[in-house]
Structure 1
Amino acid sequence: MRANHSETVQSQFDPQAQAYLQSAVHAAGPDLLCAVDLISRSLPHAAGGLVDVGCGAGHLSFAVAPKLASVVAVDPSPNMLATVDRAAAEKGLANIQTIQASAESMPFDDGRFCVVASRYSAHHWLDLPAALKEMRRIVKPGGHLLMIDVEGDENPLVDTHLQTIEILRDRSHIRDRSPSEWARLITDAGFSEIHHQNWVTRLEFEPWVTRMRTSPERIAMIRTVQREAPSELRQALAIEDDGSFSMRTGLWWAKA
């Protein structure tokens, strides 16, 4: 019997919690610096709480926790949450709590948080519109949404190839959303005053596939897609001889 999507996500990420904690791409970046700045300016004096939905190894939680009264890190993976608990204790971040739950259904009262946030997780969510509406439910009136994720491309040629190599690398991948898709989804969920910015992020090929335990057969398929890609794609993704390439990380900040 084949696994469903939730089981696939669990099997992909549960064994790799430590690898994601140590991942340079996930542990740093201008998006994290921007997130801390936005939260510092919007919630001065460490007021209020934040929920980090699909927290993974906890890098967003760790970055913003010193600026907030409390952070709740939510993820369906028990091993990811255990990794967050250990790392938070090592960093002396006693205001981080972990809870196992999916993005589409979280055990919180309406309007509990000042900020609802997620980083590098939404492209795995089975029902992104439902998850955003759930985030809208649990944020206070006048609170904020912070979403950070890999961007899909507005150009169909580039987007098709990007989604292809993503799913070959990671069976739990669903879709990288383009900026226009994000704007529509965030608006439909009930948020407004959307601010968007993005950054180029280089992905070194070997750590990128190793982190997800991509099989040799799938790695070969990715390399074939890259080698046979038209020149427009090679330029757009800055594909290098060893398979390393660049995409964009997008950040969306909106008001409830």
Structure 2
Amino acid sequence: MNTQHQVNQHQYQDKSNAYLNSSVHAQGAEFAKMQQCIEQHQFKRILDLGCGAGHVSYQVAPYTEQVIAYDVTPEMVELVCQQAKEKGLTQIQGQQGTAEQLPFADQSFDCIISRYSAHHWQHVGQAMQEIYRVLQPHGKVIFVDILGNGQPVLDTFLQTIEMIRDPSHVRNYNLQEWMQFAEYAGFQVEQVEKQVLHLDFDSWVCRMQTSASSVETIRGLQGKVSDAVKQHFQIQADGSFQSDVMYLVLGKTA
């Protein structure tokens, strides 16, 4: 019987290099915002939560003293440690584990960053409470993730194609859900911005090694949905599309 964590590990155990070389993951306007936040507050110890191929770690390491690259998939953590060594980023250390049970002492970090990871987590609410526990008073949490939609027809389409492409997908949460997670855990919402992510279809499915039959199913859905759905996601003839992305900053006041 597979847990969600085991599904995640299975899905990503042989895809670390694909994510390392993914332009979608290696680039983004959010990196400059993260660096500015770290510099402004002089944060010293950062947790890259759900680090994947480590792009956040590589971007923020020069601005701080220590970065813990943390992921449920051992192969991802191993890759980040190898890359950090090659890049001379001695600030980066790797550790394997889940978001719902962080193996760190209370108030261990002054900044926690999670980028394109939370939609895989088994229980975001529980993870949020753990994040709150290990964050220092007056620390910051930065989330970057694909946004779900409050309109059912748009949300159903997004969640469906995400799950068909990647069985480890749990949910892209909408902004209202994120606000509830944050407030329930005790965080103050300090900044919310919306970005747009353009996804090349072939790269999107190749990165996850999506089967030919699943690719066909996704393309079939893209062709049959309403014009409103096609317009919202800007679905192109080759299947490429765009998604809304959230940049969220939370604060811990005490």
Matched with 1:40 is: 39
Deviation of 1:33 after TM superposition, in Å, equals: 2.0
* Inter-partner Cα distance in structure 1 for 2:33 and 2:195: 11
For the residue of structure 2 that corresponds to 1:116, the secondary structure is strand
For the residue of structure 2 that corresponds to 1:15, the secondary structure is coil
Q: 2:228 aligns with which of 210, 232, 255?
A: 232
* Inter-partner Cα distance in structure 1 for 2:34 and 2:181: 20
Structure 1 portions without partners, runs of 5+: none
2:182 corresponds to 1:186: yes
Deviations 1:196-251 (A, max 9, x none): 10211100000100111111111111011100010000000000001000001211
Q: In 1, are the aligned partners of 2:77 and 2:94 still within 8 Å (CA)?
A: yes
Deviation of 1:3 after TM superposition, in Å, equals: 2.8
2:68 corresponds to 1:67: no
2:104 corresponds to 1:108: yes
* Inter-partner Cα distance in structure 2 for 1:29 and 1:119: 11
For the residue of structure 2 that corresponds to 1:186, the secondary structure is helix
Matched with 1:160 is: 156
2:93 corresponds to 1:94: no
Q: In 1, are the aligned partners of 2:182 and 2:189 still within 8 Å (CA)?
A: no
Matched with 1:141 is: 137
Instruction: Give TM-score scaled by structure 1 length.
Output: 0.96
Deviation of 1:193 after TM superposition, in Å, equals: 3.5
**Equivalent residues in 2 for 1:47-86, closer than 5 Å:** 47-86=43-82
Deviations 1:121-172 (A, max 9, x none): 0000000000011010000011111111111112221111000100000000
Matched with 2:21 is: 22
What root-mean-square deviation, in Å, do the aligned CA atoms of Structure 1 and Structure 2 show?
A: 1.0
**Equivalent residues in 2 for 1:212-223, closer than 5 Å:** 212-223=208-219
For the residue of structure 1 that corresponds to 2:101, the secondary structure is coil
Q: 1:245 aligns with which of 237, 241, 245?
A: 241
For the residue of structure 2 that corresponds to 1:175, the secondary structure is coil
Q: In 1, are the aligned partners of 2:5 and 2:98 still within 8 Å (CA)?
A: no
2:131 corresponds to 1:132: no
Deviations 1:11-34 (A, max 9, x none): 111100011000000001112222
* Inter-partner Cα distance in structure 1 for 2:74 and 2:189: 35
Instruction: Give TM-score scaled by structure 2 length.
Output: 0.97
Q: How many correspondences in the alignment?
A: 252
Structure 2 portions without partners, runs of 5+: none
Q: In 1, are the aligned partners of 2:61 and 2:91 still within 8 Å (CA)?
A: yes
What is the one-letter code of the residue matched to 1:18?
N
Q: In 2, are the aligned partners of 1:183 and 1:194 still within 8 Å (CA)?
A: no
Identity of aligned residues (%): 37
What is the one-letter code of the residue matched to 2:91?
N
Q: In 1, are the aligned partners of 2:51 and 2:115 still within 8 Å (CA)?
A: yes
2:113 corresponds to 1:117: yes
